[in-house]
Amino acid sequence: MGFKKNNPVAAKMRSLLSYTNPYSSIAEQYRSTRTNLYFLTKKGGRKILLVTSPRKGAGKTTTLVNLAISMVKGNEKVLIIDANFRNPSIHTILKLQNRRGLIDVIKGIQTFENAVHQTYIEGLDVLTSGDTRTSALEELGTTAMTELLEILSNKYDAILIDAPSVLEAAEARFLASKSDGVILITNKFVTKIEEIVKTQKALEVAKANIIGVVLNEKNNSWLEEYFF
């Protein structure tokens, strides 16, 4: 992976194991997931991947960012979009400004080119949420959002969307319906089987396509994945 020169920020990325500890078993797990995704994106033509979970706090953002890093290491051009307006945190984990972002692009206040960050990780672009404190949730369901995703899918090999959780946020289902595939992050200690079943049903109703389930385990840093 090419980290660009003079990136004081990169040294602070301790939570990003795929960068800080590329030979760890967890980084290997992310690589394995990346390889499965490669076949789904490159060969299967699936570009827009939504990362969500039954309930909040399962490890969506952590998994998504590590996956994105594994993907750009494989020479893909990847865009992360932070569409979790309930708890936007991509900018925190990647130490980026969040003065403008997705919300401004959907509203037509900023162009995508003005709002996107080309990060210190080569091949990785990030569209942060922008200021979502005012009523922004409905904006995710607009035609402008759908059109933006269509345009962006021509510019990148893969787009990873950080979404809120399915059982707590209606907009997650809408976003899932606009994506080519959904990656469901579950947590070994927190997620209940009934919640996974409910989530699966909710996504089915939304005609979303679950392409994989990740079993994340906090603390132990173990990750299992099941790709369909």
Ligand X SMILES: Nc1ncnc2c1ncn2[C@@H]1O[C@H](COP(=O)(O)OP(=O)(O)OP(=O)(O)O)[C@@H](O)[C@H]1O
Interacting residue ranges for ligand X, rule: CB under 6 A: 15, 53, 56-62, 84, 87, 89, 165, 216, 218-219, 221
Q: Number of helices (H) and strands (E), helices first, in the chain?
A: 9, 8
| Distance separating the N- and C-terminal Cα atoms of the chain | 28
Nearer to Mg ion, 90 or 124 (CB): 90
Q: What are phi and psi of 160, to 5 degrees?
A: -105, 120
List Cβ neighbours of 28 (8 Å cut-off, separation of 6 or more): none
Question: What sign does the dihedral 98-49-225-195 (CA atoms) show?
Answer: positive
**Rounded to the nearest whole angstrom, what is the least distance from the CB of residue 114 to ligand X in the complex?**
26
Question: What sign does the dihedral 196-212-123-112 (CA atoms) show?
Answer: negative
Q: What is the identity of the amino acid at 142?
A: T
**Rounded to the nearest whole angstrom, what is the least distance from the CB of residue 165 to Mg ion in the complex?**
9
Nearer to ligand X, 14 or 43 (CB): 14
66 binds, among Mg ion, ligand X, none (CB under 5 to 8 A by kind): none
Q: What Å distances lie between residue 156 and 36, 109, 153, 203, CA to CA?
A: 18, 23, 6, 25
Residue 187 interacts with Mg ion (CB under 5 A): yes or no: no
CA distance 153 to 18: 25
Nearer to ligand X, 71 or 185 (CB): 185
119 binds, among Mg ion, ligand X, none (CB under 5 to 8 A by kind): none
199 binds, among Mg ion, ligand X, none (CB under 5 to 8 A by kind): none
Find out whether 186 and 224 touch, Cβ atoms under 8 Å.
no
Nearer to Mg ion, 108 or 160 (CB): 160
Nearer to ligand X, 42 or 218 (CB): 218
**Rounded to the nearest whole angstrom, what is the least distance from the CB of residue 37 to ligand X in the complex?**
18
Nearer to ligand X, 110 or 165 (CB): 165
**Bridge partner list, 156:** none
Sketch the per residue contact string, 44 through 83, with Mg ion: x for CB under 5 A, - otherwise. Answer: ----------------xx----------------------
**Rounded to the nearest whole angstrom, what is the least distance from the CB of residue 117 to Mg ion in the complex?**
18
Size of the site for Mg ion (CB under 5 A): 3
Eight-state DSSP code of residue 40: I
What is the binding site for Mg ion (CB under 5 A)?
A: 60-61, 89
